[in-house]
Chain A
Amino acid sequence: MTIYIDVLFWMRQKRWFLIAIAYGLVMHFGVTPPVDLNPAAFDALIIISMALILIITEPLPLPAIAMFMLFMQVVLGIDTANNVASSFMNDAVFFIMGSLMLAVAIVSQGLDKRLALAIIYLTGHKTWRIIAGFTAISAILASFIGEHTVAAMMMPVGLTLVRYAHKDPKKVAGLTAALLFSIAYGATVGSIGTPSGGGRNVIMMNYWAEFGAGSVTYLEWIKYVYPMVLIQIPFTVLILLWTFKPEQNNLDSAVRKLVIDVAHAGKIKGREWLAIFLFILVFLGWVFLSEDFGLGIIALLGVFLYLAFGLVEWQELNRKTNWGVILLFGAAISIGIQMNDTGAAQWIAQVIIHNLSKVIDNPAVLQGSVSVLLTGIMSNILSSSATVAVVGPIVLDLGGDKILIGYATAIASAFGYFTAVAAPACTIIYSSGLVKSKDFLRAGWKMGFLSLVSLLGLSLLWWPLL
């Protein structure tokens, strides 16, 4: 009896895995590929759709899903083992690995206390100014060092202010939500600003190079995308103040207590200066050397320097780095490349264009809206980086300027405002237990709408000038 219950319970827990397997078997053995799609491309689509089911529902650990995507390519004869292995590791995966480790190294320096003092010095005690300061600082920092790093550093500052504002954060729910969302949305808005702002930007750069669309430098990316960050910062502040209506207009007492708290850290130490200096070196490397060396290699060089100078222990990096995510992105990019090489991505793109061209007859509008809407919707279900890894090859085959479509896709992948799963910064504030799913919807639709309008304005007014 117990064994039956155990088996039934396993089936209950793994139901989506079983559904994915059943779907895959039916598709592979029971469905004939369309005449204009070769069998290898059809199999690549089966693998990616099975992987999507598994990634969204998470019945298996991420590394298991990554392995599934890799071995299925060989089992179904899409490519040889050696080719799959070489498509698995590339500079984008190096970058994701390096940036995750850099996040651990930076956060462990305790620079958040300095950051808290700097923000308070800049903003003063008024609530709206603090929220504006949190949003702007989170956005600007996240555009260079990644949103998860910024959210991890800013969260203690935000939560400490909330706790000093009222013993029971639920009594100041509006203030709490406004402060925490200023971190999450600020970091998310900022993460598109430069290639190093998020792994998805580097994945898109990798696809451009792989699919022969050319290469984009760090500064060129900034030139095209950073204005979007600057436009969105004031919008975000206004939306948060309008949506959450903080209960206190002035955080005088909370700020004073926070300053006393962080003042205990004393003067900035040599070790902290060194950590900042090393990051500046990495940043300069990204700006000036990434064309020759690659963003990922420079990120790894930065990790090497942090380790060599003893600023972080390997054991700590090893323990806190999400190796599963690294494997998954390697596998997702590998299958993304197969989608392009087998013609699967092109086939999907043609199907989309063929069907939607009856509704929208302007190709540029069609390409732009499909890439932005598809990416925006998927990033709220998946994660933003996984969305770019999966959607990237398809949208780049929609036609038009691959670079501009790629920018639009990377920007839209940051439109994951509606759920807690899309962006790491959103998951981080949700894990505090102080904001609810419905809060993401309340502010998210406004953010989504204004971001779409901003992207439209950028593509119509700014990009033609460049």
Chain B
Amino acid sequence: MTKKKPLIDPKSLKFLTAVSSAEYSKPTLKMGALIASVFDASLGVVYVGERASEFHGSAVNLTRTNLDNWNIIHPGLEVLEWALDELKKLSPENKELAKIQFNPDHVYEEDGRVRVILPEEKGCRIELVLREGELVDQMRKEIQLESYDLAIIGGSQNKRHLAHSLIQYLPSSIFVLQKLNPRKKYKLLLLVDDSAATRKSVEWGALIAEKLGWPVRTLTVSKTIRFGAGYQGAADKAKAYFDSRGIEVEQFFLTGDPVRTFVEFAGDNHFVIMGASTLNPIKQLLFGSKPIKTLEQSDAPILIVR
């Protein structure tokens, strides 16, 4: 594994987070900014607003043009302005970021979105984007357009079905923030099996362990008492990779129902990393997948690697 070209380039990571309003999005934005700063990643902040019915779309656009003449900006741009201010408050030491002023006139309409043009200051890698439409569709388009590595989403109970759709359809890895406490020292729990996503999960695990100094545990769960060669091989390769990076790792092999075992083992003091499901998407839709079931049952923050 160590000889292969890495799947993640830690020097050019791009993270994306979505905001809806100052009222509801502060925790997600705060965590997004924190995570991006830890990984020295660029952060895209996308506001996805409701799109007017196509019947009246041109009337709404005509009104917005007229409102521009009165210096009344799009409500989505107001949220993005708030997001930029919040990011400045979160990184008071970032002098380059502090210098950047939000100008609602400096926007560029392209590829079905509106991008706020920010001056390119060294040390400030922020994209502010306004989109209108359905959240999953718009985030998917944004990720495809900008090749984001990771989407950061909240995980509130009342938006579980939305989280499911995001996990199912977003083409990037997804970090579900549920109950993440930034002051808490978590243990990394990496779920290892013989699926294709395990290699990338291991790379993410190593990167997080290096950045945050969290202890690493790998967990391999078999439904029977016999662990196949694929599972054993994957666990060995994972350990070898961590060893090569000088990261200590504890290995666990348990038997039982995979999801129940993950959830019980993780409790609320682990940060879970697992690969996205390799099940046929139709089966995932009908019967659910391990990531979705784990998300449903667990209180731990989860990184689902795609």
Contact = CB atoms under 8 A, between A and B. Distances in A.
A138 B65 CA distance: 19
Interface of B: 49-50, 52-67, 69-70, 72, 75, 134, 137, 140, 165, 168-169, 171, 278, 280-282, 285
Interface size class, chain A? 35 or more
Interface centre among A58, A159, A383, A428 (most CB of B within 10 A): A428
A43 interface: no
Contact of B59 (A152, A324, A421, A433): A152
B55 A383 contact: yes
B61 A320 contact: yes
A8 B281 contact: yes
Contact of B58 (A13, A100, A385, A433): A100
Interface stretch (A103-111, A226-234, A340-348, A370-378): A103-111
Contact of B63 (A321, A385, A428): A428
B75 A433 contact: yes
B112 to A, nearest CB: 12
Nearest to A9: B169
Nearest to B282: A8
Contacts of B53: 58, 383, 421, 427
Interface string A305-326: 0000000000000001110110
Given A4-B280, A156-B72, A424-B59, A431 B52 contact: yes
A2 B196 CA distance: 13
Contacts of A12: 165, 169
A156 B169 contact: no
B66 A155 contact: yes
Contacts of A163: 72
Closest 9 CB pairs of A and B: A322-B58, A433-B75, A148-B59, A156-B70, A427-B56, A424-B59, A152-B63, A424-B56, A383-B55
B56 A110 contact: no
B126 to A, nearest CB: 23
A397 interface: no
Contacts of A148: 56, 59, 62
8 contacts: A8-B281, A153-B66, A155-B63, A159-B67, A320-B62, A383-B55, A427-B52, A431-B75
Contacts of A421: 53, 55-56
Nearest to B75: A433
Given A9-B140, A9-B169, A160-B70, A321 B60 contact: no
